[in-house]
């Protein structure tokens, strides 16, 4: 099995690097997107004007190379006829295609045809939208005409074509930051912008995109504190690592608390390119009582990775009883201890969730013949007589493992085996609200909410094919502004099969799946960006066990844990090696759970 997995991994690595999906790099606590492995692929192409007497194939090759340089679209237009150059709108989208030998071929009737698989589309906002494998194509016929005796491209491509070996060199992953509805956490909104910009140009484009509001992937699920019409006055100059963001008077009406939140959005967005921020409104400081250069530390409480020791504690179920794992910090022997002081321990649970502060939990269980989600404190030692009953929410059919967010909202998806699955959320006051959702007839298998309570991660089974896939969505509001809905559902289009679990991770999303058409024996943990780009095997992934379930959350100190197909738990240490929770191969199965 070890040799077979190695071959599959190498094959998929070639596929992924050929696709050159966009990587991320840097520490999210410092304002950057947490990095997956740097691709380092390809050779940068600088746009050059057309030479005389080019063949049709040479002309189109040169045109494609020139359009990959975002600084030189005017050079690319020199390859076109005047009418085509005037009609071409490169800013509308970038089509990333699988660049391989033979992708371009002269046609018998004239012109050159691009025949290639589409990998993704980067739209006008910079969103990376994966293409469906085997379905979406990047094919295009470049018609050619003579102008003053020289061949020129006469057809207008639908935006920019970018070969897969140029993506890492031409596009940089960035995050725009908005607030969750409770305005307690920032929510990253990934976009991809040109990499070959000066700091001033990059800062200007980032702030301009931020002030436009969230992309379609988040929609109205997040909050921007920039009032409509807020703009940067001309540009964002950078001097000695400080970006001066001069906002127009539109933002002057904001009250101090909202000014501080807007400052947090800007500071976090600029910090990922290592810039400090000076923000003014109408020439006056946005925050007059703060330092001129706003310290990043002043806005650390909005960190989307949710720092805190409780997030790193591993819990789980053994024989249906709630447990806490001790000893991961090295202070004691590693062991699972029953939470016998909790009312939850008195029930046989199907699944178990822990809130982000680590003081409450929820289980799916059966009480008095009713399938319910029961929730309560993890420690009832102050209530030794246990007179308080567990709080219960009735459910129907198959119930997925519940999920908590930072606001202590408890997300519950039941009737998962029915034609109309039901999603509800219980807030910290106990009110239960229905969330409208349509899964298009497919079956949800896993639901994981991000700590921000906006982003949802799902594993689904297709009704049409029976295959599993991973998708993301966002909790939004309907036209009335009140009804919650799970919208913007988007498949990650992963080159994996037999996906059994997925979880949020400090580096994006962790997925349990098998590479390509491999058998179940090769199922392993994989990392992928939340938009579906840059799929890679989790660094240090072991072939000594077969992955079944995952335990993870976005906290930077949380160690990924895996339950294998035999029910044994392994977690990854900081040096990327794996440790088994128990040496006894006959130990009872344990289902690991981190808060979230």
**pLDDT 10s digits, 169-185:** 999 999 999 999 999 99
Read off the pLDDT of residues 213-265 as tens digits, 9 standing for 90 and up.
Answer: 999 999 999 999 999 999 998 899 999 999 999 999 999 999 999 999 999 99
- Provide the pLDDT for residue 45: 58
What are the residues whose beta carbons fall under 8 Å from the beta carbon of 591, sequence distance 6 or more?
316, 317, 318, 351, 352, 549, 563, 567
- pTM for this one? 0.89
pLDDT score of 36 more than 50: no
∠370-373-377 over CA atoms, to 5°? 125
CA distance 157 to 138: 10
Tokens 């191969």 correspond to 585
| 125-139, 387-401, 446-460: which is most confident | 446-460
pLDDT above 70 as % of the chain: 90
What CATH class has 42-169? alpha beta
CA distance 103 to 352: 51
- Which tokens hold the place of 114? 């691009």
What are the residues whose beta carbons fall under 8 Å from the beta carbon of 385, sequence distance 6 or more?
none
Task: Look up residue 236 and give its DSSP letter.
Answer: -
- Which tokens hold the place of 563? 């339950």
Put the strands of the sheet holding 547-551 in their side by side order. Answer: 547-551, 561-564, 569-572, 578-580
CA distance 587 to 567: 9
Considering the chain, what is the average pLDDT of its residues?
89
Estimate to the nearest angstrom the gap between the alpha carbon of 322 and the chain centroid: 30
Is residue 38 very low, low, confident or very high in pLDDT (cuts 50, 70, 90)? very low
Read off the pLDDT of residues 324-358 as tens digits, 9 standing for 90 and up.
Answer: 998 776 667 778 999 999 999 999 999 999 999 99
- Provide the pLDDT for residue 26: 31
Read off the pLDDT of residues 475-513 as tens digits, 9 standing for 90 and up.
Answer: 999 998 889 999 999 999 999 999 999 999 999 999 999
pLDDT above 90 as % of the chain: 80
Let me know: does 455 contact 411? Beta carbons within 8 Å.
no
- Provide the pLDDT for residue 39: 35
Q: How many Cα atoms within 13 Å fall on the side-chain side of residue 592? A: 31
What are the residues whose beta carbons fall under 8 Å from the beta carbon of 41, sequence distance 6 or more?
17, 20, 165, 168, 169
CA distance 315 to 94: 44
Let me know: does 570 contact 579? Beta carbons within 8 Å.
yes
Read off the pLDDT of residues 92-131 as tens digits, 9 standing for 90 and up.
Answer: 999 999 999 999 999 999 999 999 999 999 999 999 999 9
Q: What pairing do the DSSP bridges indicate for beta strands 128-130 and 118-123?
A: antiparallel
3-state secondary structure 368-415: CCEEEEEEEECCCHHHCCCCCCCEEEECCCCCCCCEECCCCCEEEEEC
Beta strands per DSSP E along 81-166: 93-97, 104-106, 112-114, 118-123, 128-130, 140-142, 144-147, 150-153, 160-163
Nearest to 400, CA basis, from 424, 380, 422, 416: 416
Q: Which of 14-18, 196-200, 381-385, 485-489 has the lowest mean pLDDT?
A: 14-18
CA distance 394 to 128: 39
468 Rama class: left (phi>0) / alpha (psi -120 to 50) / beta = beta
Average pLDDT of the segment spanning 538-565 = 95
Compute how many other C-beta atoms are within 10 angstroms of the C-beta atom of residue 424. 17
Average pLDDT of the segment spanning 275-292 = 96
Helix or strand or coil: residue 346? helix
- Provide the pLDDT for residue 37: 30
- Provide the pLDDT for residue 226: 97
Q: Please state the domain extents for the chain.
A: 42-169, 197-302, 309-329+343-394
pLDDT score of 309 more than 90: no
Nearest to 489, CA basis, from 447, 451, 457, 462: 457
């Amino acid at each position: 099995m070890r040799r077979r997995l190695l071959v599959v991994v190498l094959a998929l690595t070639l596929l992924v690097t050929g696709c050159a999906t966009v990587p991320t790099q840097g520490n999210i606590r410092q304002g950057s997107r947490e990095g997956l492995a740097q691709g380092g692929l390809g050779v940068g192409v600088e746009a050059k004007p057309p030479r005389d007497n080019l063949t049709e194939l040479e002309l189109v090759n040169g045109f494609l190379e020139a359009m990959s340089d975002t600084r030189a679209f005017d050079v690319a237009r020199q390859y076109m006829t005047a009418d085509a150059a005037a009609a071409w709108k490169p800013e509308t989208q970038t089509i990333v295609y699988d660049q391989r030998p033979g992708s371009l071929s002269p046609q018998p009737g004239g012109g050159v045809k691009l025949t290639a698989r589409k990998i993704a589309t980067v739209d006008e906002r910079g969103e990376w939208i994966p293409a469906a494998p085997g379905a979406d194509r990047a094919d295009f016929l470049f018609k050619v005409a003579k102008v003053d005796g020289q061949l020129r491209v006469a057809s207008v491509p639908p935006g920019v074509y970018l070969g897969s070996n140029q993506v890492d060199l031409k596009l940089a992953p960035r995050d725009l930051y908005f607030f969750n509805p409770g305005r307690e956490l920032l929510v990253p909104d990934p976009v991809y912008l040109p990499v070959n910009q000066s700091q001033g140009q990059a800062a200007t484009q980032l702030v301009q995109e931020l002030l436009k509001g969230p992309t379609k992937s988040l929609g109205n699920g997040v909050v921007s504190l920039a009032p409509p019409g807020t703009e940067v006055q001309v540009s964002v100059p950078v001097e000695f690592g400080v970006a001066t963001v001069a906002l127009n008077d539109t933002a002057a009406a904001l009250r101090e608390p909202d000014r501080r939140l807007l400052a947090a959005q800007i500071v976090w967005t600029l910090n990922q390119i290592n810039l400090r921020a000076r923000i003014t409104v109408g020439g006056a400081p946005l925050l007059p009582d703060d330092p001129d250069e706003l310290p990043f530390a002043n806005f650390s409480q909005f960190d989307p990775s949710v720092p805190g020791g409780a997030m790193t504690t591993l819990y789980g179920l053994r024989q249906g009883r709630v447990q806490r794992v001790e000893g991961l910090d090295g202070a004691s022997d590693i062991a699972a201890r029953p939470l016998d002081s909790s009312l939850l321990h008195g029930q046989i649970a199907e699944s178990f969730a822990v809130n982000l502060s680590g003081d409450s939990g929820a289980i799916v269980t059966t009480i008095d013949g009713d399938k319910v989600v029961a929730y309560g404190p993890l420690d009832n030692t102050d209530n030794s007589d246990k007179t308080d009953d567990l709080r219960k929410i009735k459910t129907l059919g198959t119930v997925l493992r519940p999920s908590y967010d930072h606001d202590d909202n408890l997300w519950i998806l039941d009737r998962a085996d029915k034609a109309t699955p039901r999603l509800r959320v219980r807030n910290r006051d106990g009110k239960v609200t229905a969330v409208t959702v349509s899964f298009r007839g497919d079956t949800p298998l896993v639901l994981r909410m991000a700590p921000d309570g906006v982003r949802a991660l799902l594993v689904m089974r297709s009704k049409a094919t029976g295959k599993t896939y991973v998708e993301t969505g966002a909790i939004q509001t309907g036209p009335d502004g009140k009804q919650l809905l799970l919208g913007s559902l988007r498949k990650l289009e992963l080159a994996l099969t037999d996906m059994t679990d997925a979880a949020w991770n400090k580096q994006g999303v962790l997925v349990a799946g098998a590479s390509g058409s491999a058998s179940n024996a090769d199922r392993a943990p994989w990392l992928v960006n939340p938009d579906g780009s840059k799929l890679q095997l989790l660094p240090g992934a072991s072939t000594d066990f077969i992955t079944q379930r995952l335990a993870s959350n976005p906290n930077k100190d949380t160690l990924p844990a895996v339950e294998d197909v035999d029910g044994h738990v392994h977690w990854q240490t900081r040096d990327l090696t794996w440790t088994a929770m128990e040496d006894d191969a006959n130990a009872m199965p344990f289902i690991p759970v981190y808060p979230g």
